Structure 1
Amino acid sequence: MPRFEVTTGIAALPRRVFDLSLEVDVHTASMAGSGERAVGGVTSGRMRLGDTVTWQARHFGLRWRMTSRISACEPPGYFVDEQVAGPFARWHHAHHFEPDGNGGTVMRDIVEFAAPLGPLGTVAERTVLGWYLPRLIRLRNEYVRRAAETAG
Structure 2
Amino acid sequence: MPRIKLLTHIKADKELVFNLSRSIDLHKISVAQTNEEAIAGVTSGLIGPNESVTWKGKHFGVTQKLTTKITEYNYSNNFTDEMVSGAFESFKHQHIFTKEENGTLMTDIFDYRSPLMFLGKIADYLFLKRYMTKLLEERNQIIKEFAESDRWKEVNLD
TM-score by shorter chain over 0.5: yes
Q: Match of 1:29?
A: 29
Could you tell me the TM-score, scaled by structure 1's length?
Answer: 0.97
Give 2:138's aligned amino acid: L
3-state SS in 2 of match to 1:12: coil
Q: Match of 1:125?
A: 124
Q: Match of 2:156?
A: none
Counterpart mapping for 1:131-150 below 5 A: 131-150=130-149
Identity %: 37
Q: Match of 1:14?
A: 14
Q: CA deviation at 1:99?
A: 1.0
Give 2:90's aligned amino acid: R
Counterpart mapping for 1:2-151 below 5 A: 2-102=2-102, 104-151=103-150
Q: For 1:78 and 1:21, how far apart are their aligned partners in 2?
A: 10
Q: For 2:39 and 2:84, how far apart are their aligned partners in 1?
A: 15
Q: For 1:6 and 1:116, how far apart are their aligned partners in 2?
A: 23
Give 2:146's aligned amino acid: A
Q: For 1:125 and 1:54, how far apart are their aligned partners in 2?
A: 24
Residue-by-residue CA offset, 1:51-100 (whole Å, 9 max, x unaligned):
00001111111111100000001010100000000001111000011112
Q: For 1:78 and 1:42, how far apart are their aligned partners in 2?
A: 19
Q: Which runs of 4+ in 1 moved over 2 A?
A: none
Do the aligned residues in 2 keep the contact of 1:37 with 1:56 (CA within 8 Å)? yes
Do the aligned residues in 2 keep the contact of 1:114 with 1:125 (CA within 8 Å)? no
Please, which runs of 5 or more residues in structure 2 have no aligned partner?
A: 154-158
Q: For 2:7 and 2:31, how far apart are their aligned partners in 1?
A: 18
Could you tell me the TM-score, scaled by structure 2's length?
Answer: 0.93
Q: For 1:82 and 1:41, how far apart are their aligned partners in 2?
A: 14
Q: For 2:4 and 2:98, how far apart are their aligned partners in 1?
A: 18
